[in-house]
Structure 1
């Protein structure tokens, strides 16, 4: 069961399909292989969008997975897709709205077009505000404000492209941007005294796990697995059961240079991985663990989705 470092066409930059926003020839011939390459190319962008829509980097990845599954299912009956990237973003937008509905949040509702002719002189400054805003800040914006600000100020789409992705008028996008940017500036300027905290039991479990991992004592880590443990190696594979999940540690045994540090992100305990095989950054990716008493019941490893770290504020504990 050699899954950990097997070749993955989704992660090979040289195989990415170069489909531009207005490349109609490619758009007319998008097939399953082309869609797979396009999804690999834009997946980090989809994650940045979905993360800010739902207010969580971890839940944002769940939404991305739902969106990609929907795109694969919709392709056979989609007909000619003039703008494949915009088509994927529209599907991701709808998936994010579904997630928000499931959480019983405020729906997509804002039709005021009175600000439709406002100039966009502050776009560059507002883009800096949006880039530094926390995920929690975005949740204080209405859904259309949030999506408009993320698409234009974070991802860099034009107003026309944003309106097309959201299937709303240009005037509605301008109005939502004006209000959303103003609200974000208020939130970013406000003092934030909240400090992340973890229960002492979570700290102890994280430290013990990291110490054993860094000491290469993988047999001790295997002993912590419950019989029904589940592994989600994000963007690669999923396994269930102690026997199959044990292979996960075997692959780390064969890869040198990775070390773990206990941390906190989104008020959750995380393991921060320093791994030169993935990135030279101080935090290459993160790992989530779920426990029942002293047994690990779930592992979610983002080694193959390092873009998730871009949207996280992680602190050492």
Structure 2
């Protein structure tokens, strides 16, 4: 299978794979992290010559080691790193960060300022404060419809009195299928 067909097949399965990863981790957000790492590994394996014709026929990873690894990562003890801090805990030490999931990553106040400017100029969305899986979030609703269910969300990580990290799921609409969210009361 050529790389274009391989990437297309991964894209077609992405929503389903995300639901599976979210179920295994117990979190839609953590499931997205596992999914992204898995897709990177799949693309690397394909580039190295591994052939997978039947995507549905491969069994999921099994065993206590895999599940233990997920629990450790969720607790902030990543088995991926070489003993350094978990990426989320290191974000504040290195300035502002933006992860526009499935699109791009930016760092630095100037780059992220453009992000806020574009959101402020956009008229097709309305916003509300909320929590996604217990994490502070900006809920984004389509301006033309009822504000019943967000179209997407952005997770916000704070450090002292400013936002240190933003993870915006605009380009991951399948996240809303498996995400537990609530609106925070205004007051």
TM-score class normalised by the smaller sequence:
0.7 to 0.9
- The structure carrying a bigger strand percent of its residues is 2
Structure 1 or 2, whichever has the larger Rg, is: 1
Shift in CA distance, 98/230, structure 1 to aligned 2, threshold 3 Å? farther
Q: Does residue 1:37 correspond to 2:8, yes or no?
A: yes
Q: Does residue 1:306 correspond to 2:161, yes or no?
A: no
* Residue segments in structure 1 that go unaligned for 5+ positions in a row: 1-29, 106-224
Q: Does residue 1:83 correspond to 2:83, yes or no?
A: no
Contact 1:63/1:95 (CA < 8 Å) preserved in 2?
Answer: no
Q: State the TM-score, normalized to the length of structure 1.
A: 0.46
Shift in CA distance, 35/43, structure 1 to aligned 2, threshold 3 Å? same
Contact 1:63/1:96 (CA < 8 Å) preserved in 2?
Answer: no
* Residue segments in structure 2 that go unaligned for 5+ positions in a row: 73-91
The separation in 1 between residues aligned to 2:119 and 2:47, in whole angstroms, is 39
Q: Does residue 1:236 correspond to 2:103, yes or no?
A: yes
TM superposition shift of 1:270: 1.9
Q: State the TM-score, normalized to the length of structure 2.
A: 0.75
TM superposition shift of 1:247: 1.7
Structure 2 SS opposite 1:283: coil
- The structure carrying a bigger helix percent of its residues is 1
Q: Which residue number in structure 2 is paired with residue 101 of structure 1?
A: 68
The separation in 1 between residues aligned to 2:9 and 2:117, in whole angstroms, is 32
Question: Residues 165-314 of structure 1 correspond to what in structure 2 (within 5 A)?
Answer: 228-275=95-142, 282-314=149-181
Contact 2:25/2:70 (CA < 8 Å) preserved in 1?
Answer: no
The separation in 2 between residues aligned to 1:96 and 1:50, in whole angstroms, is 15
Q: Does residue 1:74 correspond to 2:45, yes or no?
A: yes
Shift in CA distance, 231/31, structure 1 to aligned 2, threshold 3 Å? same
Shift in CA distance, 303/72, structure 1 to aligned 2, threshold 3 Å? same
Contact 2:132/2:155 (CA < 8 Å) preserved in 1?
Answer: no
**Aligned residue pair count:** 164
Structure 2 SS opposite 1:306: coil
